[in-house]
Amino acid sequence: MTKMKKAGVWAASCAVCGCVALGAAPARKTVVVWSEGTAPKHLYPADINGAIADGLRASDTLKGWEVVTASLSDPEQGLPDELLARADVLVWWGHKKHGEVKDALVDKIEKRVKEEGMGFIALHSAHFAKPNKRLMGTPCTFAAYVSDTTVTEVKVAMPDHPIAKGVKAEFTVANDERYSDPYAVPPTDEVPFTGVQVHKNGKREPAKMGFCWQVGKARFFYFQLGHETNPIYFDPEIRKIMANAVLWASGTP
């Protein structure tokens, strides 16, 4: 073999090795945090999605992740095809504007979750959000919705669950709107968080706070807390739960 041919073979080999090395680099994961823009500005200046996103960006759990905020008022309701296609996890908070979300967008979200494995996290009043109801396939109603509580005592019910990693066994957050069990969703034994909703009259009402499901090819987490008049998404324990939930929903063991 001539020197020129040897050089050509060596160069080709290096090119192949380079491609393999480049291909071996893990792709950056993306989480999109969506909200409708109706939270009180004095509590959530950057809306709820902004508060959650700040917590995710600050978390060591999600180092290297791309964290994107999206809102109902954004072009294409915050989820253009390109962004939705590369999202590993979609976090959704909604309250007053569920009906404004286009059915065509819900169709796309359903496909990404069920057929393509995009994780989905629904928060508090997003139990009535179109994507949540579509993915659950049930009414997603609670027994009662009443503004008669002061705090919720959150308890880790499954200490070994990935979403509970590093979270205090018990902690308390302000909560002036209770959702009473039962929650009309598919049954699941995977309930990593429970709690006690403390009424203004002193009554203590047990409730489930976090639910996990496998929906098609994806993981799904619903967190019951998060009323817009309580800025709990700045709470360090809630932020741990959010970061852990995103990692878990992405398919990470």
DSSP 217-243: TEEEEEE----TTS-GGGSHHHHHHHH
Q: Would residue 46 count as lying in a domain?
A: yes
Instruction: Supply 40's token pair.
Output: 């009180």
Does residue 9 register a pLDDT over 60? no
Q: Would residue 33 count as lying in a domain?
A: yes
Which pLDDT value is given to residue 252? 87
Does residue 4 register a pLDDT over 70? no
Which pLDDT value is given to residue 17? 46
Q: Would residue 98 count as lying in a domain?
A: yes
CB proximity list for 52: less than 8 A, separation 6 or greater:
33, 91, 93, 233, 242
Q: What is the mean pLDDT of the chain?
A: 93
Does residue 23 register a pLDDT over 60? no
Q: Would residue 7 count as lying in a domain?
A: no
Does residue 54 register a pLDDT over 80? yes
Does residue 6 register a pLDDT over 90? no
Among 70, 59, 86, residue whose Cα is nearest residue 246:
59
Q: How confident is the model at residue 12 (pLDDT cuts 50, 70, 90)?
A: very low
Does residue 208 register a pLDDT over 50? yes
- Domain of residue 86 covers 27-141+208-249
89-128 pLDDT, tens digit each: 999 999 999 999 999 999 999 999 999 999 999 999 999 9
Q: How confident is the model at residue 245 (pLDDT cuts 50, 70, 90)?
A: very high
Q: Would residue 243 count as lying in a domain?
A: yes
Least confident of 25-39, 61-75, 151-165, 239-253: 25-39
Residue 214 belongs to a domain with what CATH number?
3.40.50.880
Which pLDDT value is given to residue 26? 67
Among 238, 240, 233, residue whose Cα is nearest residue 59:
240
Which pLDDT value is given to residue 146? 96
Does residue 20 register a pLDDT over 60? no
Q: Which long-range contacts (CB under 8 A, 24 or more apart) does 158-161 make?
A: 158/190, 158/191, 158/192, 161/190, 161/192, 161/212
Q: Would residue 86 count as lying in a domain?
A: yes
Which pLDDT value is given to residue 1? 47
Q: What is the pTM of this model?
A: 0.90
Q: Would residue 198 count as lying in a domain?
A: no
Which pLDDT value is given to residue 38? 97
Rounded mean pLDDT, 1-29: 51
Q: How many domains does the chain have?
A: 1
Among 58, 40, 33, residue whose Cα is nearest residue 96:
40
Does residue 16 register a pLDDT over 60? no
Q: Would residue 114 count as lying in a domain?
A: yes
Number of Cβ within a 10 Å radius of residue 158:
16
Does residue 31 register a pLDDT over 90? yes
Percent above pLDDT 90 for the chain:
89
Q: How confident is the model at residue 27 (pLDDT cuts 50, 70, 90)?
A: confident
| Separation between Cα atoms, residue 156 and residue 160, nearest integer Å | 9
Which pLDDT value is given to residue 152? 98
Q: What's the one-letter identity of residue 38?
A: T
Does residue 8 register a pLDDT over 80? no
Number of Cβ within a 10 Å radius of residue 205:
17
CB proximity list for 193: less than 8 A, separation 6 or greater:
154, 155, 156, 157, 163, 164, 208, 209, 210, 223, 241
| Separation between Cα atoms, residue 30 and residue 250, nearest integer Å | 9
Residue 38 φ/ψ, nearest 5 degrees: -115, 5
Which pLDDT value is given to residue 24? 54
Number of Cβ within a 10 Å radius of residue 76:
13
